[in-house]
Amino acid sequence: CVAGVMSVEEGLRLVVERGRLMAGLREAGAMASVQASVEEVLRELGDEPGVSIAADNGPTQVVLSGRETALRSACARLEGRGLKTKALKVSHAFHSELMEPMLGELERAASQVRMSAPRSLLVSNVTGREAGEEVTGAEYWSRHTREAVRFAEGMRTLYERGVNTFVEIGPHPTLLGMGMECVPVGSAQWVASLRRGRDDWDTIAEAAAKLYAAGVDIDWRGFDRPYPRRTVPAPTYAWQRQRYWMDPAPESGARSTFDELLGSAEAFEALSASMALSSEEKRVARRTLEALRARISETRAARPAHELLYRVAWRPRHLEASSPAPSAGKWLIVMDQRGAGEAVARALEAAGASCTMARAGDAADLAGEDFRGIVHFGALDLGAGAACIRGLDDMRRWIAAARPPSRLWLVTRGAVSVAGEAIDPGQASLWGLGKVASLEHPATWGGLIDLSASAAEDASADVAAELLADAGEGQVALRSGRRYLARLAPLEGDAGEPFATSGTALVTGGLGGVGLEMATWLVRRGADHVVLLGRQGSAAAGAAGAVARLEALGARVTVAAVDVTDAAAVAELVETIDAGASPLRVVVHAAGVRGWSRLTELDGAALERTMAAKVRGVEVLGHLTRGRRLDAFVCVSSVASVWGSASQGAYAAANAYLDGWAQARRAEGVFALSVGFGPWRDVGGVTADEAAQLARLGVRGLGTPAALEGTALLLAAGVAHGVVADMDWTRFRPLYESGGRRLLDEIEGAGERMAATADVDFLAELRRTPAAARVVRLRTWLQRVVAGTLGMSDPAGLDVQKGFFDLGLDSLMAVQIRQSIARELGITLAATVTFNHPSVRDLAEHLLGVLGLREPVVLPAPESLAADMETEIDSLTDEEAAARLAMHLDLEGAFE
Ligand SMILES: NC(=O)c1ccc[n+]([C@@H]2O[C@H](COP(=O)([O-])OP(=O)(O)OC[C@H]3O[C@@H](n4cnc5c(N)ncnc54)[C@H](OP(=O)(O)O)[C@@H]3O)[C@@H](O)[C@H]2O)c1
């Protein structure tokens, strides 16, 4: 009908008539599929009476049809030759001689239908070739019913004709999977129009998107015709298809989870009792578990540091003229003393806007009025550096008071360093506050606009243009008539010379979590004296043990009970260091407190409390070390100042101050580094609950080795500010961007990164893996392949025992998975491999056999096991180690 051979009405009439005639046939017959090529089947069966080839569906898929007894004996013969057959549930033996009694009637019905030659390319299922005039004859339609379906040949014809995009029109993709088998792998796009169990419109829209991306010219007007459409900015939320069901609690020791087994003595006792382990076996098991625990936490922490580094890059971008131009509207301008706000008001008015002027400090209640925007210039009067803290409170009150539809913009001067220019850390701290405002108040937040540090530069027209364009950019810097936008970018870390130092390292917050790790690292890198500074001094929890551990590494340790904001006390401490034999070579400023408060509830005193240690501390330390030759000055900052952190406005502002401070120092030619860390795992003030919450958002805990190596890489890279964070971007990006924020525009999703690092060498690695650990390694790898096809972000969350089709796989996805495995492992696999081995667990077992990597397992005696294992565990990955242990102690169920 689509090719214009017959009308839809007449086509339907013919279909109904054909169905009626088939239903009237006296002998039903049977059908079966065979996993073989048509040539193989013909070779085996020859002209077996009573059986016909009903369909040639692909290189390993043939369907037979005919009389029941004849078909059964044909299948038995094929099975005897090792070919798999499967009976099909059908009402009749289609495409067989049993259709013959109805063909005369069918031809008569077909001859009544008005038919014309196809108007577009039509490939015939009867010949597998391009169809012509013959389809208009009634005889063609009786051959169509009686003869075999030449699907495979039809697909090849299409492919040879240059067709490389295939869309299946139907309720669920079934033909696509077969079609993929008929043309070279990767040579075509396969698009399902509908999928069972999925929303029709979602699938169709996805299909349209895929086709569009493949270069197909879509008639978008036609697509939209039945709907009144309006263009609106939409959040880019992507569902993660993550499983959130709670796992049932383990019932007994034997079913306890791996982590429980590692962490709980009771679980271990229960398990060993249920397995009736001898005391020797228990001893071996306990020692192995301990070694394993240490190994696991170490390898988990070992994500390579160079993958965790980022920097804020400033990208020059013209302001696109908005179309249609929105009306200029009413604006509230909060003035500064130098007239920058008034100049912008004049520029806005010149564009047709009306502006109300207000003074900072006295007019926050005006924010309740119906302005299109409130533009706050008060920051320009705040004064430099630490003097700004009090002024931030004024800004905070404006943020809290803004009501929709008004949106608040903050204008700063010299807050960000676009190209290494000198900046004011006080202004930078305002950006920290603004980034949190964008998370806490997305409906009333406009953005941050930074002017050049030079007041002589008049950017009023550019500011007005930015405000009026409402381009959705929340972080804009205007410099000499050019517009720059903030984008987070991966930072290439090059190890170069490993960081080395000597002499004294002063670490503020040195007895806190991060500070102590930093101090330990500095000792390992050559510091012979560390000064651990904190208000509590030796009274801090764990101080004595920490000192002993550092001393055991060979360092001299001084604990100083000093408040870093107390300039005189810190000066005295530095004098004492100077009087000693080990000169001050490194300063790490890790002192800090966190404060939890929404911007609406934060008051000036709390703001000051949270910011003081970082802001005043760095000023004191900076002043005392000015002019000294240091190996490093490291400020311990946070990602909160880079992309914000809800309820941590003061904390983000404090860290932004540190980032700005290091950049300001840099502009003076003195090297300092501010490291924006993501949360550390098991170290410092981030609680387990917070860590779990952050992990759900895609912010993973940083392992200590990676955090420290990341710091070393940033020092080597010579940047003034960098980020070290272990992010799951597939989770974090959609959440962050749901407010229209653009900072992460250049960050690739983890899914893409995974694809880019496809495991080409996986097979070689698998061969090197100890035999006992291979199946688990293979399962982990398969989890990634399957999760990738399913669009799941967390492969580890994929149940290895669950059937693929229960996980949501359809036959098209099953073929994709088979093809990926075959490609990556360089093997050929039966078309039905995912049906015959329908879970990650089954498939991994099967693949080991196909790869010839299944080896007999020899259990060593317990004594040699203990000795061997301890040395070997060091060389295993955690999956390998788990598999190894599972095999010896038969605990696999528990590990699962
Ligand atoms: N833990 C993380 O995951 C993480 C992530 C990113 C950034 N950071 C940053 O790392 C730094 C340390 O955090 P942490 O998690 O290790 O917290 P922590 O264990 O609470 O350590 C903070 C340390 O700072 C000291 N301190 C606070 N105010 C001080 C002051 N006025 N003068 C001198 N010392 C002061 C505290 O000692 P006293 O109480 O004895 O003064 C404490 O030892 C913070 O700056 C934080 O922003 C941490």
| Architecture, CATH, for domain 504-748 | 3-Layer(aba) Sandwich (3.40)
Tell me: the pLDDT tens digits for 687-723? 888 887 788 788 989 989 999 999 999 998 889 999 9
Ligand 1 within 6 A of 712 CB? no
Cα-to-centroid distance, 532 and ligand 1 (Å): 12
Using DSSP's 3-state secondary structure scheme, residue 52 falls into strand
Angle at 240 between CA 234 and CA 246, to 5 degrees: 130
pLDDT for 790 beyond 90:
no
Question: Could you write out the three-class secondary structure of 146-167?
Answer: HCCECHHHHHHHHHHCCCCEEE
Ligand 1 within 6 A of 506 CB? no
Ligand 1 within 6 A of 565 CB? yes
Ligand 1 within 6 A of 636 CB? yes
Cα-to-centroid distance, 57 and ligand 1 (Å): 67
pLDDT of amino acid 260: 62
Q: Ligand 1: which residue has its CA nearest to atom 25?
A: 509
Cα-to-centroid distance, 531 and ligand 1 (Å): 15
Rounded Cα distance between 882 and 870, Å, is 13
Segment 762-766 mean pLDDT: 76
Give residues with Cβ within 8 angstroms of 53, minimum separation 6.
Answer: 38, 41, 42, 62, 63, 64, 65, 95, 148
- 504-748 shares the fold of 316-489: yes
Ligand 1 within 6 A of 638 CB? yes
Q: How far is CA 261 from CA 239, 773, 799, 875, 885, in A?
A: 33, 19, 20, 22, 12
Pairing of strands 726-727, 699-700: antiparallel
Q: Does residue 843 contact residue 833 with C-beta atoms inside 8 Å?
A: yes
CATH class (in words) of the domain with range 762-850: mainly alpha
**DSSP track, 839-889:** SHHHHHHHHHHHTT------PPPHHHHHHHHHHHHTTS-HHHHHHHHHHHH
Q: Ligand 1: which residue has its CA nearest to atom 21?
A: 512
- Residue in this structure with the two tokens 């993958």, named with its chain if needed: 307
pLDDT of amino acid 889: 44
pLDDT for 251 beyond 80:
no
pLDDT of amino acid 814: 81
Using DSSP's 3-state secondary structure scheme, residue 316 falls into strand
Ligand 1 within 6 A of 183 CB? no
Ligand 1 within 6 A of 514 CB? yes
Give residues with Cβ within 8 angstroms of 689, minimum separation 6.
Answer: none
Cα-to-centroid distance, 441 and ligand 1 (Å): 28
In the chain, where are the structural domains located? 164-230, 253-300+858-895, 316-489, 504-748, 762-850
Least-confidence region, from 52-61, 370-379, 615-624, 874-883:
874-883
Cα-to-centroid distance, 515 and ligand 1 (Å): 7
Tell me: the pLDDT tens digits for 84-120? 899 999 999 999 999 999 999 999 999 999 999 999 9
Tell me: the pLDDT tens digits for 623-655? 999 999 999 999 999 999 999 998 899 999 999
| Architecture, CATH, for domain 316-489 | 3-Layer(aba) Sandwich (3.40)
Q: How far is CA 873 from CA 285, 655, 772, in A?
A: 13, 41, 13
Q: Ligand 1: which residue has its CA nearest to atom 43?
A: 512
Label residue 271 exposed, middle or buried (CB < 10 Å: 0-12, 13-18, 19+). buried
pLDDT of amino acid 295: 61
pLDDT for 255 beyond 50:
no
Q: Does residue 610 contact residue 596 with C-beta atoms inside 8 Å?
A: no
pLDDT of amino acid 869: 47
Tell me: the pLDDT tens digits for 185-234? 778 889 999 988 788 988 999 999 999 998 899 998 888 888 887 878 77
pLDDT for 332 beyond 60:
yes
pLDDT for 262 beyond 80:
no
Cα-to-centroid distance, 687 and ligand 1 (Å): 13
Rounded Cα distance between 407 and 446, Å, is 5
Highest mean pLDDT among 164-178, 261-275, 785-799: 164-178
Pocket test for ligand 1, best of 593, 645, 655, 693 (most atoms within 8 A of CB): 593
Q: Does residue 634 contact residue 661 with C-beta atoms inside 8 Å?
A: no
Ligand 1 within 6 A of 680 CB? yes
Pocket test for ligand 1, best of 535, 641, 714 (most atoms within 8 A of CB): 535
Rounded Cα distance between 115 and 66, Å, is 31
Rounded Cα distance between 353 and 329, Å, is 5
Looking at every residue in the chain, the average pLDDT score rounds to 86
Ligand 1 within 6 A of 685 CB? yes
Ligand 1 within 6 A of 536 CB? yes
Ligand 1 within 6 A of 511 CB? yes
Segment 446-453 mean pLDDT: 95
